[in-house]
Structure 1
Amino acid sequence: MAQKKKKVNKPPKSSSSKFVFWIIGLIAIAIIGFIFLANNEKSDDSAKEEIDYANQPFLGEEDAPVSIVEFGDYKCPNCKNFADNVAPLIVKEFVDTGKAKFYYFHYPFINVDSERTAKFSEAVFHELGNEKFWEFHELIYDKQPEDTRYETIDVFTEEFLTETLEEMASEEEVKKVVAYFDTKAPEDAWESDEALGGKLGVTGTPTIFVNGKRFDGQTMDDLNELVEEASKEKGNE
């Protein structure tokens, strides 16, 4: 990623009360458990790894003590479930309260569509900035097809991605993104994310890290515990 981070980045969706969060959270527990059980084996190594957060898209306040990272694939059904049902809870509980920042790193593995979309979103981030990246990010997950055959066919073509961007950007902005997409730089950017994921032991998506420590829990309570632990450790540095 090459775009400079902003001081404060707000999510496109509005927040609700903490009471509502926990009501929704109870419903989401089963979803969270399914997502992580479906994609990740239990990690035997709980040691924290170094992650370079510089020039990566994020939601939250720059000085938030905890960094939550998602490694995702835009063609992954479980990543869509995460984006629709879990990420909003993370934003409400941790990002909106200033406890954490939320980052997105690319780990495209399903097919060429995954790689193409990762490259295009890198171009959006570089040319249009953090806020537009998250708008595009959300829109792409909204458009993920329900057809079970989609994993083996091209859906997120360059034409489709360009038309999607046109829904939220000006003609001039779209031209800038497409021109940058045609260079090697955005490909290098997502490949850097993917290489980091490999070093961290990512084997499926979504995979979550909290201040460099892999999240192997199954509920929001488990995640809250890890965030609180990371926050305390950060305060003791």
Structure 2
Amino acid sequence: MIDRRKALILGGAAILGTGAYGLWNGNSTTSGLVDLGAARAQGTADIAEITLGREDAPVKVVEYASYTCPHCASFHNDTFKDFKREYIDTGKVHFTYREVFFDRYGLWAAMIARCVGPERYFGVADMLYQTQSEWARQGDPAAVAQSLKRIGAQAGLSPEEADACLEDAEKAQALVAWYEAKTAEDGVRSTPSFVIDGNLHSGNMSLAQIGALVDEAAG
């Protein structure tokens, strides 16, 4: 597990310049490994939390998900809109979405979503999950990158902005360090996972299932 995660932040041949395109490539070695401790100290504080809902809502829900996780796609495609309407929009839940990086494609997708800005983040997230079977299953990394850039373009990113986003090695390194710190803090080992008022629950859930947990937390 440690070695696989370290591979995310190794230098190596890139598809387009350097940065996220060059992360986690199959030919990487331990040379060029970024100092994770330094990344945590210097960069993780700059990683913005992605949130929805009233900050003073009575129940806090944190979702950990990967853009390449089929169960995460199922939750977002089948359940999330109803959950948002019934629990977030009504002020019952303050929701935080945290990306998990099991592979380079999930990292690239998260970077594109973040680069469009917080106001459009969840719109891009919807597109990523709805089309996951198309872009995430492509065997060629260059093809995946182009597919993600097209999704970014639908949200207003120019080709130049998308390239700059995916070439931002410093942000990529900080995101990986941030993800590792957050998942370790909450004991997350799989996706999707939900921390509901401090209690960890794992696995895809229906609206009835997650709603019951929120209602129980609200007392």
Where on the TM-score scale, by shorter chain, does this alignment land: which range? 0.5 to 0.7
In structure 1, what is the equivalent of residue 35 of structure 2? none
Offset, 1:105: 0.6
AA matched with 1:228 = D
1:1-237 correspondence to structure 2 within 5 Å? 55-109=48-102, 111-122=103-114, 124=115, 128-145=116-133, 150=137, 154=141, 157-169=144-156, 171=158, 175-187=160-172, 188-215=174-201, 220-232=207-219
- Write the distance in 2 (CA, Å) between the matches of 1:162 and 1:150: 16
Q: Report the 3-state secondary structure (helix = DSSP H, G, I; strand = E; otherwise coil) of the residue aligned with 1:62.
A: coil
Distance (Å, rounded) in 1 between the aligned partners of 2:131 and 2:107: 16
CA distance in 1, matches of 2:142, 2:128: 11
Residues 153 and 162 (structure 1), Cα distance of their counterparts in 2 relative to 1, 3 Å cut: closer
CA spacing shift, 1:206–1:151, aligned 2, 3 Å: farther
Distance in 1 (CA, whole Å) between partners of 2:120 and 2:207 is: 28
Distance change (3 Å), C-alpha of 1:118 and 1:170: closer
**8 A Cα contact 2:101 2:179, kept in partner:** no
- Letter matched to residue 136 of structure 1: V
1:95-152 alpha-carbon deviations (Å, 9 max, x no partner): 121101222111121x321222233333x2xxx42121111111111111169x9286
Offset of 1:67 from its aligned partner? 1.9
User: What SS class does the counterpart of residue 75 from structure 1 fall into?
Assistant: coil
Structure 2 length-normalised TM: 0.66
For residue 75 of structure 1, report the CA deviation from its aligned partner: 1.0
Q: TM-score, normalised by structure 1?
A: 0.61
| Structure 1 counterpart SS, 2:63 | strand
8 Å CA contact 2:63–2:96 kept in 1: the answer is yes
- Count of residue pairs the alignment pairs up: 172
Q: Do the aligned partners of 1:75 and 1:151 also contact (CA within 8 Å) in 2?
A: no
The letter for the 2-side match of 1:55 is A
Could you tell me how far apart the structure 1 residues matched to 2:153 and 2:139 are? Answer: 26
Q: Which one-letter code corresponds to 2:169 in the other structure?
A: K
Task: Kindly indicate whether the alpha-carbon contact (under 8 Å) linking 1:56 and 1:104 is maintained by their aligned counterparts in 2.
Answer: yes
Identity of aligned residues (%): 24
Q: Which amino acid aligns with 2:108?
A: R
Unaligned runs of at least 5 residues, structure 2: 1-44
Tell me which amino acid in the other structure corresponds to 2:189: T
